[in-house]
Amino acid sequence: MNLKTAKTIYWVGTALTALWFGASGFFELTTNPVVWDVTLALGYPAHFIYILGVAKLLGVAVLLIPGKLLRLKEWVFAGVFFDIIFAFFSKLAVFDFASTGDAIFALVMVAVTYVMFRRLYPASFAGVAAGQ
């Protein structure tokens, strides 16, 4: 795959991730009844929903800055993966497998985006081997 294709896939995936998690964070902070009802039904406390909303909006802001804060973007991707995995297993435990479709779709979308991120910005571990 050439660099231009990887960049296109990365930015489309980043835009979709930003829309998904930006909307989710906004709905959490504005107490959207659909989001709140589901999250409360999963057993999460109200204060957690606000914290999650703020974290999502901050993460989206970091993801949308081109070519900067690469190490922080790694943390954002990790946070997004944790959010998706927790959503999947929470819905599976409380509801049923059919309710996990959004989490499965999000996991695939973010995984592809992350793979393209790594193609565009390969990780460097030179300092780790030298103890730096």
Which pLDDT band holds residue 79 (cuts at 50, 70, 90)? very high
Which pLDDT band holds residue 95 (cuts at 50, 70, 90)? very high
Question: The dihedral of CA 96, 114, 3, 60: what is its sign?
Answer: positive
In whole angstroms, give the CA distance from residue 87 to residue 94: 10
Q: What is the pLDDT of residues 19-61, one digit of tens each?
A: 999 999 999 999 999 999 999 999 999 999 999 999 999 999 9
In whole angstroms, give the CA distance from residue 109 to residue 122: 19
First CA to last CA distance, the chain? 33
pLDDT exceeds cutoff 60 at 130: no
How many residues would you count in the chain? 132
State the pTM of this model. Answer: 0.89
Question: In Å, how far are 2, 3, 6, 87, 129 from 80, measured between CA atoms?
Answer: 27, 25, 20, 10, 28
Instruction: Give the pLDDT of residue 38.
Output: 95
Instruction: Give the pLDDT of residue 72.
Output: 96
Mean pLDDT over 11-15 rounds to 98
Q: Where are the domains of the chain?
A: 3-121
